[in-house]
């Protein structure tokens, strides 16, 4: 379908002066269609219906046939009733008039009403959303199928021009963030410094560590009109109109999310804590090579603990380790873990091990875990080392860098073995289950793999200068 009412993008004639820049005009065609969609018209039952479910209203007409329902709707677009099935008592149907025909949907209730994936507080909202979707998909099916073919996401040269100014703005306090608005035909406002512009500015920042990161998209209900930041089209419907990346705030259609590159630039405002946060998400949010927890803890351990007997094997007080965790979650890189606060170095080693254990995806990822285990089973030492090296290359860059840095540190620990009594094998026993976990949640598998986990870490420590 030709979208003659679409507004064109204005990003092609960007002024060299970033302050004069105007973002692209968001496309209004689908928004106009939503405004034109039929409105729901509830057909009320004149009498009281026995055994009417308490979560249905007067639109419920009891046990009637499809033909009776069709007659009650009277050919009025948007008219609807609820009925109980004659063939299957206890099963309920929404009869809805659309496109000069009566559509029947099996209706469910589990605290909310639904006929598909979306859950609604009321039947009225369900029908309203359904009519919008039916109307738009009927009128613009071809248009929707082509939405992703010329996305604004692929043509954001304007963001490159803005990168210096945006980078400076991003470094200011939240209270200084400057917003401006553009107006489409319906005078809807959007932020000038959107997640789109922010991401492009960070991507071109020379100091940024460009680890690839997938977006963490989750279905989202937008309050008020919203436009997709991938294709610039309106996100239609009453609820669950699209998805939002919970790490960077990018808002797109569900179908557009499949085309978005793995270029998520997490926003620190959305990262609530340090522990239990995805490793790549954390380092991209803080713009660091490795998680700051790893750098700060290792720096402290190497400054005053390398000769400590049983380093990493001896446990610190759990309560104090939790205090360190809370300090990082609360203060980030400003967390104070100095000897004045925590004189026992085992508290710091415990906090570092806890960080690795709390990762939702281990340093040695679930995807690479079976390959490492298979490599550990190879009897020939040279072939085993080569196999381990090959699997290391499959790790995500941030995971690889973190593992590399940790192994350099653990090698230093082994160089002080005469004082701390910790060799590579001992450290393998400690760090094996800490750095790698089986994707199968099986106690039997875990027990079976423990010796291979130990061996992998031992190999990584002993050969860190060759493997990394």
Mean pLDDT in residue range 297-301: 98
Write out the CATH class of domain 34-146.
Answer: alpha beta
Mean pLDDT for 115-124 is 94
Grade residue 382 by pLDDT with cuts at 50, 70 and 90: very high
pLDDT of residue 444: 85
Residue 140 has pLDDT above 90, yes or no: yes
Question: What pLDDT is recorded for position 367?
Answer: 94
Res 237: pLDDT: 94
- CA angle in degrees (0–180, nearest 5) for 362-337-359: 10
CA distance 382 to 385: 5
| Tokens 């603990």 belong to residue | 305
User: Residues 57, 63, 66, 70: is their CA dihedral positive or negative?
Assistant: negative
Res 263: pLDDT: 84
- The whole-number pLDDT of residue 95 equals 96
- Looking at residue 209, its pLDDT comes to 60
b vs e for 319-343, b when ≥16 Cβ sit within 10 Å of the residue's Cβ? ebbeebbebbbeebeebebeeeebe
| pLDDT tens column, 325-348 | 999 999 999 999 999 999 999 999
Confirm if 189 and 183 have CB atoms less than 8 A apart. Answer: yes
- Total residue length of the chain: 468
Kind and range of the H or E run holding 442: none
**Three-state secondary structure string covering 242-255:** EEEECCCCCEECHH
Could you tell me if 222 and 117 are in contact, meaning their C-beta atoms sit under 8 angstroms apart?
no
Q: Which fold has domain 217-270?
A: Wheat Germ Agglutinin (Isolectin 2); domain 1 (3.30.60)
Highest mean pLDDT: which of 110-114, 178-182, 209-213, 445-449? 110-114
* pLDDT at residue 26, rounded to an integer: 80
Phi (first) and psi of residue 42, to 5 degrees? -75, 125
Q: Provide the residue ranges of all domains of the chain, joining segments of one domain with +.
A: 34-146, 217-270, 368-466
Q: Is the pLDDT of residue 309 over 90?
A: yes
**Nearest-5° angle of CA 296, CA 298, CA 299?**
65
Dmax over CA atoms of the chain, in Å, equals: 92
pLDDT of 2 strictly over 90 = no
Average confidence (pLDDT) over 156-183: 37
pLDDT at 86: 86
Mean pLDDT score, 211-230: 89
pLDDT (0 to 100) of residue 169: 39
* Arithmetic mean of pLDDT, 166-170: 40
Q: Is the pLDDT of residue 424 over 50?
A: yes
Query: d(Cα 353, Cα 410) in Å, to the nearest integer?
Result: 13
Is the pLDDT score of 23 beyond 80? Answer: no
Rounded to whole angstroms, the Cα distance separating 99 from 162 reads 47
Q: Is the pLDDT of residue 178 over 60?
A: no
- CATH number for the 368-466 domain, one of 3.40.630.30, 1.10.555.10, 1.10.1660.10, 1.20.1250.20? 1.10.555.10
**Cβ atoms 231, 147 nearer than 8 A:** yes
Give the position of tokens 């060299």: 16
State the distance between the two ends of the chain, measured CA to CA, in whole angstroms.
55
**pLDDT grade, residue 168 (50/70/90)?**
very low
For residue 144, how many other CB atoms are within 10 A of its CB?
Answer: 18
Long-range (24+ apart) CB contacts under 8 A made by 169-178 are 169/193, 170/198, 170/201, 170/202, 174/269
**Average confidence (pLDDT) over 271-289:** 90
Question: Considering the chain, what percentage of its residues have pLDDT values greater than 90?
Answer: 68
Tokens standing for residue 194: 């959107």
């Amino acid at each position: 379908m030709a979208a003659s009412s679409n507004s064109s993008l204005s990003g092609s004639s960007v002024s060299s002066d970033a302050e004069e820049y105007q973002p692209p005009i968001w496309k209004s065609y689908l928004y106009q269609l939503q405004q034109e969609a039929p409105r729901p018209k509830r057909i009320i039952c004149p009498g009281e219906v026995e055994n009417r479910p308490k979560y249905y209203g007067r639109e419920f007409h009891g046990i009637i046939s499809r033909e009776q329902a069709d007659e009650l709707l009277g050919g009025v677009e948007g008219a609807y009733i609820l009925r109980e099935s004659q063939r299957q008592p206890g099963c309920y149907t929404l009869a809805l008039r659309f496109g000069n025909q009566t559509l029947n949907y099996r209706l469910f209730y589990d605290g909310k009403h639904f006929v598909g994936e979306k859950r609604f507080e009321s039947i009225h909202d369900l029908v309203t959303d359904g009519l919008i979707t039916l109307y738009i998909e009927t009128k613009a099916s071809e248009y929707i199928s082509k939405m992703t073919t010329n996305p604004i996401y692929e043509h954001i040269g304007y963001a490159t021009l803005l990168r210096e100014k945006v980078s400076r703005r991003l470094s200011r306090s939240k209270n200084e963030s400057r917003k401006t608005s553009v107006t489409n035909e319906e005078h809807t406002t959007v932020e000038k410094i959107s997640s789109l512009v922010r991401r492009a500015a960070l991507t071109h920042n020379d100091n940024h560590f460009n680890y690839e990161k997938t977006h963490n998209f989750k279905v989202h209900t937008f309050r008020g009109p919203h436009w997709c930041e991938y294709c610039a089209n309106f996100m239609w419907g009453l609820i669950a109109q699209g998805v939002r990346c919970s790490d960077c705030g990018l808002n797109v259609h569900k179908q557009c999310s499949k085309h978005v590159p793995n270029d998520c630039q997490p926003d620190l405002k959305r990262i609530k804590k340090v522990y239990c946060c995805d490793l790549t998400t954390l380092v991209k949010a803080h713009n660091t090579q490795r998680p700051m927890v790893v750098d700060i803890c290792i720096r402290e351990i190497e400054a005053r603990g390398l000769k400590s007997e049983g380093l990493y094997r001896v446990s610190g007080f759990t309560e104090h380790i939790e205090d360190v965790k809370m300090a990082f979650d609360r203060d980030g890189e400003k967390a104070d873990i100095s000897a004045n606060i925590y004189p026992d170095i085992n508290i710091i080693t415990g906090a570092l091990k806890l960080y690795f254990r709390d990762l939702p995806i281990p340093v040695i990822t679930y995807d690479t875990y079976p390959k490492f285990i298979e490599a550990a089973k190879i009897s020939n030492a040279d072939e085993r080392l080569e196999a381990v090296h090959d699997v290391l290359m499959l790790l995500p860059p941030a995971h690889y860098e973190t593992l590399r840095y940790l192994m350099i540190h653990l090698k230093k620990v082994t160089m002080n073995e005469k004082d701390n009594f910790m060799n590579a094998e001992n450290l393998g026993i400690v760090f094996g289950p800490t750095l790698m976990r089986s994707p199968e949640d099986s106690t039997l598998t875990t027990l079976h793999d423990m010796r291979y986990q130990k061996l992998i870490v031992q190999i990584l420590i002993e050969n860190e200068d060759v493997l990394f």
